[in-house]
Amino acid sequence: MSIEIFVFVIAAFATFFNNALHWYTQVTTYPLLSWVGQTEFVSFHKEYERRLPFSIYAPYTLLMFSTLLLIFFHPAEIELEWVFMLLILNASIMVVSLVFAVPIHSRLDRQGYSDKAGIRGLMRYNSVRFIASSTSSIIMLYLTMRLMMN
C-alpha cells in the first residue's frame, strides 16, 4: 500500500468516525444534559468534560492531522481542491466549537446547572458541526468511490 493510500484510508476513517461522533452528540449526549438533575449537573458536566480528550479531541486531532497530510500525500486521482475543501469543512468544526459551544459549556459550569436555552444552543451549534462533518463524509465517500473505480 502506498503512503498516499494509507493517508487517505486514515483520513476517511477519521472523517466517518467524527461524523458519527457529531450524530451521537446531537441525538444522545446533548439532549441527555437536560435530564441531569440540577444538584448533580456540575459533577456530571465535569465528568463529561474530563472524558472529552480521549473521546472527542483525539479523534478530531487525527482527522485534522490526516487531512493536512493529504495535502502532501494524496492519491493522484484526487485533486488538491477536494483536500482543501475537506480541510476547510473540518476546520470549521473547531471554529464553531471554540466560538460558540465552549462559551456555553463554560457558562453552564459557572452557573452550576443546566438550562434549556443553553442545551438548545449546544444542539443548534452542534447541528452546524454535524452538517459540516456530514458534508465531509459525503465528499470522502465520493472520493473513495473514485479511487475504487480506478
User: Residue 136: what are its φ and ψ, rounded to 5°?
Assistant: -60, -40
CA distance readout (Å), 123 to 11, 28, 63, 118, 141: 26, 10, 22, 9, 26
Residue ranges of the domains in the chain? 3-149
Low-confidence stretches of the chain (pLDDT < 50) are: none
3-state secondary structure 52-76: HHHHHHHHHHHHHHHHHHHHHCCCC
Is 67:88 a contact under the CB 8 Å cutoff?
Answer: no
pTM: 0.92
Maximum separation of any 2 CA atoms in the chain, in Å? 58
Q: State residue 68's pLDDT score.
A: 97
